[in-house]
A and B are shown apart, each in its own frame.
Chain A
Amino acid sequence: MSVKPETRINRQENHLYRLWSTISDTDALLAAILEESLEAVSATRGTISLVDHRAGELVTKFVAGVGWSEGMKELRFKITDEPGNSISSYVAYTGRPYICSDVTVDPYYYPMFPDTRSELAIPLVGRGGRVLGVLNVESEKVNAFGENEARVLSALGSIASFALSLAAHQNREKALIELGKELAATPDIDALLEKVTEIAAQLLDADDCSLFLLDKSINRLILRASRGLLRSLVGKATYRLGEGLTGWVALNDKPVRLNGVVGDPRWKGLHLELKPEEISAFIAVPVRGRNEVLGVLRALRKKASPTAPNYLFSDEDEELLFTLASQLGAALEREELQKRLFTMQHIASVGELAARTAHMIGNKVFAMKGALKEIEAQLSNFTLSASVQKLLNSMERALYEVETLLQDLRDFVKATQLNLQPVQIVELVRELVQEYAHEFPYIQFEMLIDDRDVWVRGDPEKLRSAVSELLENSVHFLKEGDKISVRVAKSTWAGQKHARLIIRDTGPGVPEKLKEQIFQPFFTTRSKGMGLGLAIVKGIIDAHGGTIEERGQEGEGAMFIITLPVFESPQGGES
């Protein structure tokens, strides 16, 4: 009267596949699998428990069969091989099926029902051998389950594992799509960065997540967003490239995944979201642009209790964080590109207008100068009163000033039209510094050269006028005994070499509230000129594919940092 096991399996699985096609609800499917399991191996009752990775515990989620009361569901067992902690918990620990023929002599058995005599438990194993849960059945008969039953249950269990993995995968996918939408819709970049850390933490079930972005002008990673303790340090916490785990990730363009952090030789503990001993697991991935590393996204999990096992980040977690990081990288580059494009178009249209206007005004001024000259010539036979002479002189001076303004305007417009060639930047800077030192003997000039041979592809005349404008600008604010130091260095990150030019002075520095504006056209604190000086400098540096920023502290002096992409010298190596 007994049915052959194979036939039974086939019938059950067919039944399940039908279920599978109609049930998209994972919970319902797991409940159904449990019911099928009891029937397939003639068990009295059974459970499906799922792993709570964070707590290191196994939680009873689904029960079937007779005799269950409410209090027995959601039971938690520590995942361990210690005796008496339940057979399921032992299976979750070992990751292997377990047949118990007689519970009365089993060391792992945890008594719940007085009539239980034998048990069979198989692990639900996900990707990378990670145990997701345990399928457990029991019988009031001794020795009820053998190898056949274990095989049947394993088959059913693998469907449950698959369903669990798929559900997790779908959740992540959904979250990623949501993120993509949000990234596209978030208008300002800081809000976007914060959103990314929030979503990353949520998706990875992490307790904190921080984002560091590379600031080329100071060659450091700067904290741009974080959720917990580090939040107050946004904009302040930094890592040098290669410094600590985060710096290592940026320098090597490779991810890092660790249980804890304390043992790792790269770990420095400079800026921590959690106390070192609280860290259960750490993961950090590079945020990549098309050509270079833009930053580092890192996440941490906290230990549920001091004794809880490490809740490690999985392969899926790493892939997920990578996906997030690359979406972010693309968004950052898009933002940068749009900004550049907008600036270029802006400059181009303003430039055209300015050029036409300058030309017309120039012509009129030329005519006015001529007329004024003629008046002076015709009046030269008369004795003019001092006030008339003064008026004539002022008019002439005013016309010259208009011409100076026009010249500024023309330089501004022409800043982006480059005549490119290899330029030895160290020599160019040295010559200028010498000229200025000669012209302003009451100011100390200092030249610091880290690397004698730094070439960039640039327009020597434009670069000279940019550096010259910066020196001019410094000198304007300095008094006797003040100092200007100019440093040229080369730096490398992610395979890209950059020349760095740092001009620092001991003047009053740039007030914090003006830092944003100093590179804007028509901004000036001086009474003369049009305020195009630094805008021209920025235009020139931008056109070279470089960056310029002011990084000094108000009251301690100004510090302008220029980076320019290095051009490998045709001679190569040292000169």
Chain B
Amino acid sequence: MGRILVVDDEELALEAIKLRLERDGHQVDTASNAAEAIEKIRNAHPPYDVVITDMVMESENSGMEVLKAALLKDVLTEVIVLTAYGSVANAVECLKRGAYDYLEKNIPGVDVYDLLALKVERAMEHRAESLGLIKRLQAFQQPVTAQQGEEILD
């Protein structure tokens, strides 16, 4: 399954998400602040498939920094932003900048962990789709390029 990085400054939340996703068979790393997360993203080989990050940690924009680092490493890494109350606007800003989705931590009556697991599945599918698309594009482009090259040589 997927390689996932979970970033949250709430130790218990980090642990709960890790356990929930591991039950689905994912391989989960954790980071408890943006700096640690960015470090792990840079050193990851291969890059993480999905990064789940809290929006507000050290600063209002911690989530944004994590998003930036993840996309710099691999533009197809899917980032899911978690928000507690009052930071939905920031999360929406993250969507505009390439995050896959966001999730409110406190939706009364909704099992947010199941929802998160579902979103991770979707993100994995989305990433697989994107990767497939790129492969097909490359496969399609190579003969054309070769042919063009021959034409040029002619």
Contact = CB atoms under 8 A, between A and B. Distances in A.
Contact of B16 (A355, A362, A371, A404): A371
A364 B112 CA distance: 14
A365 B107 CA distance: 11
Interface stretch (B41-49, B82-90, B129-137, B138-146): B82-90
Contacts of B82: 366
B108 interface: yes
B56 interface: yes
Nearest to B111: A373
B16 A367 contact: yes
B16 A403 contact: no
Contacts of B13: 363, 366-367, 370
Given A373-B111, A403-B108, A362 B85 contact: yes
A400 interface: yes
Given A365-B106, A373-B113, A355 B12 contact: no
Interface string A364-381: 111111110110010000
Contacts of B17: 370
Contacts of B149: none
Contacts of A558: none
Given A362-B85, A368-B12, A374 B106 contact: no
Interface residues of A, number: 24
B105 interface: yes
A359 interface: yes
B10 interface: yes
A407 interface: yes
B16 A410 contact: no
B20 interface: yes
A406 B109 CA distance: 13
Contacts of A366: 10, 13, 82, 84, 105-106, 112
B84 A370 contact: no
Interface in A387-414: 400-401, 403-404, 406-407, 410
B85 A406 contact: yes
B128 interface: no
A358 interface: yes
A8 B105 CA distance: 102
Given A363-B105, A367-B10, A369-B113, A358 B86 contact: yes
Contacts of A370: 12-13, 15-17, 19-20, 113
Nearest to A368: B12
A44 to B, nearest CB: 95
B96 interface: no
Which of B20, B86, B109, B111 has the largest number of chain A CB atoms within 10 A?
B86
A359 B56 contact: yes
Main SS of the interface on chain A?
helix
Contact of A359 (B16, B87, B109): B87
A359 B106 CA distance: 10
B20 A400 contact: no
Contact of B20 (A358, A368, A374, A403): A374
Contacts of B20: 370, 373-374, 377
A368 B106 CA distance: 11
Contact of A403 (B11, B56, B106): B106
A407 B108 contact: yes
Contacts of A359: 56, 84-87
A371 B12 contact: yes
Nearest to B11: A367
Contacts of A371: 12, 15-16
A509 to B, nearest CB: 31
A500 B85 CA distance: 34
Contacts of B113: 369-370, 373
A363 B84 contact: yes
Given A369-B113, A370-B113, A403-B106, A363 B10 contact: yes
Interface in A249-304: none
A400 B109 contact: yes
Which of A360, A367, A377, A407 has the largest number of chain B CB atoms within 10 A?
A367
B23 A377 contact: yes
25 contacts: A355-B86, A358-B84, A358-B86, A359-B84, A360-B84, A362-B105, A363-B13, A363-B54, A363-B105, A364-B10, A366-B13, A366-B82, A366-B106, A366-B112, A370-B17, A370-B19, A373-B16, A373-B111, A374-B16, A374-B19, A374-B20, A377-B23, A400-B109, A403-B106, A407-B108
Nearest first, the 6 A-B pairs at minimum CB distance are A370-B16, A367-B12, A367-B13, A366-B105, A362-B84, A403-B108
